[in-house]
């Protein structure tokens, strides 16, 4: 068996294999939520899974970057002592969507480099990703604009495509191979017909994508500082600084660090999610705050997501097209990524007369 | 894999009162092997943990060429810094580092050096000044300008006196507000520029201090004819992790904690203002 190969298998047979993974790892996947939504959580059996969903409202971020992560526990004293609290227990993330896998690939790069973030990387090394390519988008999905989906060619351990009674399985890694090797019977190499069917499903999903985000133009606008301050100011008035957009974003990772005392002598140093959209994010001890105004923070968020400087640093724009900021933002339709991309594109577009004048003078 | 966030324990050997709100701490690591191996460059910083209060970044102000211990100068402004100010000799804290990039040192040998410091900006520059004295014959003309709010607000009063007495450096000091002890110039640090002669072509200028001061200093240096990459400064931002991961210190696509805190004007001028 090799990476890149494709197989098909009866759904029930594959679910049985998934269930067997519970022996050595936490099995995490889509379950029915309280309001008819879908919530990813650890299950005691695959029977708890639901497959009638497109995507979860929250990204799977919390399973790799917990809301609160304890870094080490310390005991005060003449000579303080501390013990690291690295959690590297194995987990299998089932049923996550392509855009969220792309988000994880972004973190893999971000938390590596010169400084290796051992808390993230050890959790990640013990995480298996079984993703599902999308046959149908939500009306907020725009991953095709961001190279975030609806299916992927790499990055997952196994990628499933739903064929109704069967799954088409795309092998993405050695970890994925190890899972498939547990299957005693029923796994068959994908036929030409299967591959054709997959192609058609992909094309159909692509064609159903509604929102558009022509990020290329927005990147040019931001990179060349062609956006009027007035537009950022306008957006600053519209934003509630709630930080919802960054919390639901499968690319955003900023965190705060703090000490928390559990008893008079014992405490933990922890990190927890933070947001560049909060006014306290850059406030210095002196009281000086370089991004005190909401417009400055909004500008920051989109500079990080869309400037060429970051595209070059990260290899891609800071958005995978999951559409969650569309769902979450209270400034409905104004500050989500596709909306802002649209507003940026219109910036500094010379009127036809002006264009003529420029040509004439040059 | 090494743990990025675990500090090493370090003990305070000495505490010196600098100004009413500033103290200098000399520390060494409890782990002897670690202490021996610990080395850093001028301009780098450390993250100091007061367990239960938090962690905060401080520029190393000691001479990187002298091993065995290191120093930080701390102004009391908040939770961590106030806790440090209550510390006594023998108290143990956590230290991570050295972090960040450094002032060019070997690279500027053979040149004249101009140092322009304001208030609490002198400590990080001291980690450059002292090694220059150690290798004095490798450098040309050496000028230090130091400005503070009042005479009492000056840090390192002993060292300043010592430098003033040396004939291989020109030290000029000024204060915003004089008192009865002060006989020197009064005015912001940039007023000292007219009292010195530098050849911008042969000189590297290093400046550190409050952001507003840095801005005026750079303006004047440019007017004097300094090239963009002959002006070296530091940027300061609220920092948490110190290792380029928490996002707090980002300006443009630079993370001040790893890409900085030292930048040339050539690098600074293309960064977005905020
Ligand atoms: C590169 C660099 C070099 C520096 N060098 C020096 C130097 O040489 N000398 C010097 O004096 N200063 C220096 N500073 C500035 C110094 O780091 C700050 O003065 C210091 O961080 C102030 O910390 P504090 O805890 O005293 O202040 P505070 O802002 O009161 O405290 C911040 C701490 O309190 C906690 N905290 C605060 N608010 C909250 C909240 N809402 N919720 C939870 N926890 C919270 C956090 O854990 C945080 O660690 C430097 C800064 C940088 C970036
Ligand atoms: S910016 Fe919005 S659409 Fe893009 S990845 Fe983040 S939450 Fe999803
Ligand atoms: S852009 Fe929207 S989601 Fe983000 S902080 Fe502002 S109001 Fe909240
Ligand atoms: S301090 Fe965390 S990224 Fe710089």
Q: What ipTM is given for this predicted complex?
A: 0.90
pLDDT, residue B131, reads 96
The answer to whether the CB of B96 falls within 8 A of the CB of B9 is no
Digit-coded pLDDT (tens) for A48-89: 999 888 888 888 999 999 999 999 999 999 899 999 998 889
- Rounded distance, CA B157 to CA B161, Å? 6
pLDDT, residue A354, reads 53
pLDDT, residue A311, reads 87
pLDDT, residue A306, reads 92
Q: What is the pTM of this model?
A: 0.90
**3-state secondary structure at position A42:** strand
Give the pLDDT band of residue A146 (cuts 50, 70, 90): confident
* Angle at B245 (CA atoms; ends A338, B237), nearest 5 degrees: 95
- Is there a cis peptide before residue A89, judged by omega within 30 degrees of 0? no
pLDDT, residue A353, reads 56
The answer to whether the CB of A204 falls within 8 A of the CB of A135 is yes
- Rounded distance, CA A329 to CA A248, Å? 10
Sequence-separated (6 or more) residues with CB below 8 Å from residue A155: A101, A102, A104, A105, A129, A172
Nearest chain A residue to B271 by CA distance is: A309
Sort A27 into a burial class: Cβ within 10 Å, 0-12 / 13-18 / 19+.
buried
User: Which residues 60-89 on chain A approach chain B with CB closer than 8 angstroms?
Assistant: 71-72, 74, 76, 78-80, 82, 84, 86
Pocket of ligand 4 (CB under 6 A): B 239-242, 244-249, 255, 257
Per-residue tokens: B195: 């009292």
Tell me how long chain A is: 362
pLDDT, residue A351, reads 53
Give the distance from CA A172 to its chain's centroid: 19
- Is there a cis peptide before residue A224, judged by omega within 30 degrees of 0? no
Nearest chain B residue to A76 by CA distance is: B51
Per-residue tokens: B7: 């500090």
Please check whether residue A282 touches B, CB under 8 A: yes
β-strand partners of A127:
A91
pLDDT reading at A246 higher than 90: yes
Minimal CA separation from A178 to chain B, in Å: 25
pLDDT, residue A362, reads 41
B92-99 sheet: strands from edge to edge: B54-59, B45-50, B92-99, B8-19, B22-29, B70-75
Give the pLDDT band of residue A349 (cuts 50, 70, 90): low
> What is the pLDDT averaged over residues B100-107?
95
Give the pLDDT band of residue A350 (cuts 50, 70, 90): low
> What is the pLDDT averaged over residues B169-178?
93
Q: Which residue's alpha carbon is at the smallest distance from atom 4 of ligand 3?
A: A245
- Which residue of B4, B51, B274 is in closest CB contact with A291? B274
Per-residue tokens: B5: 């966030």
Sequence-separated (6 or more) residues with CB below 8 Å from residue B164: B171
Residue among B190, B201, B152, B118 nearest B20 (CA): B152
- Candidate from A17-21, A184-188, B97-101, B146-150 with smallest mean pLDDT: A184-188
Residue in this structure with the two tokens 């400046």, named with its chain if needed? B207
Residue B184, CA distances (Å) to A166, B146, B161, B178 in order: 87, 12, 13, 8
Residue A17, CA distances (Å) to A11, A46, A183 in order: 10, 10, 7
pLDDT reading at A300 higher than 80: yes
The answer to whether the CB of A228 falls within 8 A of the CB of A347 is yes
The answer to whether the CB of A178 falls within 8 A of the CB of A90 is no
Minimal CA separation from A103 to chain B, in Å: 16
pLDDT, residue B237, reads 87
In whole angstroms, how large is the CA radius of gyration of chain A?
Answer: 23
Give the pLDDT band of residue A361 (cuts 50, 70, 90): very low
The answer to whether the CB of A320 falls within 8 A of the CB of A103 is yes
> What is the pLDDT averaged over residues A344-351?
73
- Is there a cis peptide before residue A211, judged by omega within 30 degrees of 0? no
Per-residue tokens: A74: 């310390």
pLDDT, residue A209, reads 87
Q: Which helix (H) or strand (E) holds A294?
A: helix A294-306
- Is there a cis peptide before residue B261, judged by omega within 30 degrees of 0? yes
Strand B254-255 relative to strand B250-251, pairing: antiparallel
pLDDT reading at B224 higher than 80: yes
Residue among A130, A129, A133 nearest A197 (CA): A133
A282: chain B residues, CB-CB within 8 Å: 237-238, 248
> What is the pLDDT averaged over residues B17-28?
96
In whole angstroms, how large is the CA radius of gyration of chain B?
Answer: 18
Catalogue the long-range contacts made by A201-205 (C-beta closer than 8 Å, 24 or more residues apart).
A201/A133, A201/A135, A201/A161, A202/A133, A202/A150, A202/A151, A204/A135, A205/A134, A205/A135, A205/A136, A205/A137, A205/A150, A205/A151
Per-residue tokens: B3: 């743990």
pLDDT, residue A160, reads 95
- Mean confidence (pLDDT) of chain B: 94
Pocket test for ligand 1, best of B45, B58, B243 (most atoms within 8 A of CB): B58
Nearest chain A residue to B212 by CA distance is: A288
The answer to whether the CB of B51 falls within 8 A of the CB of B41 is no
pLDDT, residue A286, reads 80
pLDDT, residue B98, reads 96
Residue in this structure with the two tokens 């298998």, named with its chain if needed? A9
pLDDT, residue A288, reads 86
Digit-coded pLDDT (tens) for A337-347: 999 999 998 87
- Rounded distance, CA B262 to CA B247, Å? 18
> What is the pLDDT averaged over residues A161-165?
92
Digit-coded pLDDT (tens) for A261-284: 999 999 999 999 999 999 999 998
Give the pLDDT band of residue B236 (cuts 50, 70, 90): confident
**3-state secondary structure at position A275:** coil
């Amino acid at each position: 068996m090799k990476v890149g190969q494709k197989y098909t298998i009866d759904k029930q047979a594959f679910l049985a294999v998934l269930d067997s993974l519970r022996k050595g790892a936490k099995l995490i996947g889509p379950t029915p939520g309280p309001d008819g939504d879908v919530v990813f959580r650890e299950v005691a059996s695959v029977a708890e899974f639901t497959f009638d969903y497109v995507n979860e409202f929250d990204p799977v971020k919390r399973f790799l970057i917990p809301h609160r992560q304890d870094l080490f526990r310390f005991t005060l004293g003449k000579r303080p002592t501390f013990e690291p609290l690295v959690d590297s227990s194995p987990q299998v993330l089932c049923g996550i969507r392509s855009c969220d896998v792309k988000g994880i690939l972004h973190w893999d790069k971000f938390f590596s480099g010169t400084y290796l973030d051992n808390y993230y990387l050890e959790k990640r090394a013990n995480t298996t990703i079984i993703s599902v390519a999308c046959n149908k988008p939500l009306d907020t999905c725009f991953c095709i604009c961001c190279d975030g989906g609806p299916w992927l060619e790499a990055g997952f351990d196994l990628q499933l495509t739903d064929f109704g009674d069967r799954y088409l399985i795309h092998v993405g890694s050695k970890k994925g191979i190890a899972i498939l090797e547990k299957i005693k019977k029923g796994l068959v190499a994908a036929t030409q017909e299967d591959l054709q069917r997959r192609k058609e499903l992909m094309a159909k999903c692509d064609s159903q994508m509604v929102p558009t985000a022509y990020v290329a133009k927005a990147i040019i606008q931001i990179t060349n500082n062609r956006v009027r301050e007035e537009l950022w100011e306008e957006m600053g008035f519209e934003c509630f600084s709630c930080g919802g957009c960054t919390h639901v974003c499968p690319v955003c990772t900023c965190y705060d660090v703090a000490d928390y005392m559990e008893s008079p002598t014992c405490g933990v140093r922890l990190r927890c999610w933070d947001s560049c959209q909060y006014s306290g994010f850059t406030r210095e001890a002196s009281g000086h705050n370089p991004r005190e105004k909401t417009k400055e923070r909004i500008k920051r968020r989109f500079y990080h997501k869309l400037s060429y400087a970051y595209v070059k640093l990260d290899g891609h724009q800071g958005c995978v097209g999951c559409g969650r900021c569309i769902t979450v933002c209270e400034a409905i339709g104004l500050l989500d990524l596709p909306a802002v991309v649209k507003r940026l594109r219109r910036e500094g577009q010379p009127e036809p007369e002006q264009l003529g004048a420029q040509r004439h003078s040059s | 894999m090494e743990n990025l966030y675990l500090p090493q324990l370090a003990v305070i050997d000495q505490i010196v009162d600098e100004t009413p709100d500033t103290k200098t701490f000399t520390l060494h690591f409890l782990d002897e092997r670690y202490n021996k191996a610990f080395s850093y460059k001028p301009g780098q910083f450390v993250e100091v943990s007061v367990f239960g209060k938090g962690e905060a970044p401080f520029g190393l102000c000691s001479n990187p060429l002298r091993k065995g211990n290191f120093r930080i100068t701390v102004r009391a402004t908040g939770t961590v810094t106030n806790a440090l100010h209550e510390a006594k000799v023998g108290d143990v804290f956590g230290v991570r580092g050295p972090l960040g990039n450094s002032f060019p040192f070997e690279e500027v040998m053979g040149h004249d050096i101009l140092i322009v410091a304001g208030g609490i900006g002198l400590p990080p520059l001291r980690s450059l000044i002292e090694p220059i004295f150690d290798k004095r014959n490798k450098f040309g003309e050496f000028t230090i300008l130091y400005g503070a709010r009042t005479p009492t607000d000056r840090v390192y009063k002993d060292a300043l006196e010592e430098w003033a007495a040396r004939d291989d450096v020109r030290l000029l000091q000024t204060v915003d507000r004089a008192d009865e002890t002060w006989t020197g110039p009064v005015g912001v640090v940039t007023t000292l520029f007219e009292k010195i002669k530098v050849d911008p072509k042969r000189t590297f200028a290093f400046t550190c201090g409050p952001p507003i001061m840095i801005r005026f200093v750079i303006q004047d240096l440019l007017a004097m004819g300094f090239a963009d990459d002959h002006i070296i400064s530091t940027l300061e931002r609220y920092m948490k992790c110190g290792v380029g991961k928490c996002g707090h210190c980002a300006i443009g696509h630079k993370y001040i904690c790893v890409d900085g805190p030292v930048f040339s004007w050539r690098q600074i001028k293309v960064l977005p203002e905020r």
